[in-house]
Amino acid sequence: MAKKTYHGSCHCGRVKFEADIDLAQGTGKCNCTICWKTRWWGTIIKPADFRLLTGKDELNDYQWGHFIGHNMFCRHCGVRCYNYGHLEQIGGDFVSVNMAALDDLDPAELAEAPIRYSNGRDNDWMHPPAEMRHL
């Protein structure tokens, strides 16, 4: 499969974006506290493959821990659309798109995409946790 352009938005529609994603490259779920509490299911892409179309002034940024990532969410409806940052272990600059924020993603496409699980709760990001069924 090759890259496909998906369109996404927050719940209230003030934030809209496009992302060029190759779902065959995989998606990710993590058990760290923020991913667990928000049920994040993302995919990592390069910044050049992401375009914020509207709503830059409607976004708030949440950071924690080592302040590596900027977790962008709509200040009106609270939906986390994407996050971005820089992490050498995954190739430097990145954008992680929230799969649930994609408006034109066919559920069958998502069901076929590989999932990588990360054990963020134990700061063992490159390995899956012992239990994954709840993610």
Q: Give pLDDT tens digits for 58-77.
A: 999 988 776 678 899 999 99
Closest CA relative to residue 59, chosen from 78, 84, 37: 78
pLDDT of residue 110: 94
Question: Is residue 129 domain-resident?
Answer: no
Question: For residue 114, which amino acid is it?
Answer: P
pLDDT in tens, 14-31: 999 999 999 999 999 989
User: Once rounded to an integer, what is the mean pLDDT over residues 1-5?
Assistant: 88
Integer-rounded Cα Rg, in Å, for the chain is: 14
CATH number at residue 32: 2.170.150.70
Q: Specify if 122 maps to a domain.
A: no
- Is the residue at 135 inside a domain? no
109 belongs to a structural domain: yes
> Could you tell me the pTM of the whole model?
0.90
**Tell me: the pLDDT tens digits for 83-115?**
999 988 888 999 999 999 999 999 999 999 999
Helix (H/G/I), strand (E/B), else coil: 10: coil
Bridge partners of residue 102, in order along the sequence: 8
Counting every residue written for the chain, the total comes to: 135
Q: Containing domain of residue 58, as a range?
A: 4-116
Residues 6 or more apart whose Cβ sits within 8 Å of residue 56: none
Average pLDDT, the chain: 92
Q: For residue range 30-45, list pLDDT tens digits in order.
A: 898 888 888 999 999 9
The answer to whether position 14 is within a domain reads: yes
In a domain, 130, yes or no: no
Counting other chains too, the contacts that 84-87 makes at CB distance below 8 Å and 24 or more residues apart are 84/47, 84/50
Is residue 40 one of the residues assigned to a domain?
A: yes
DSSP class of residue 67 equals -
Q: Which of 95, 83, 98, 84 minimizes the C-alpha distance to 9?
A: 98
Number of folded domains that form the chain: 1
pLDDT at 1 (0 to 100): 61
15 falls within a domain:
yes
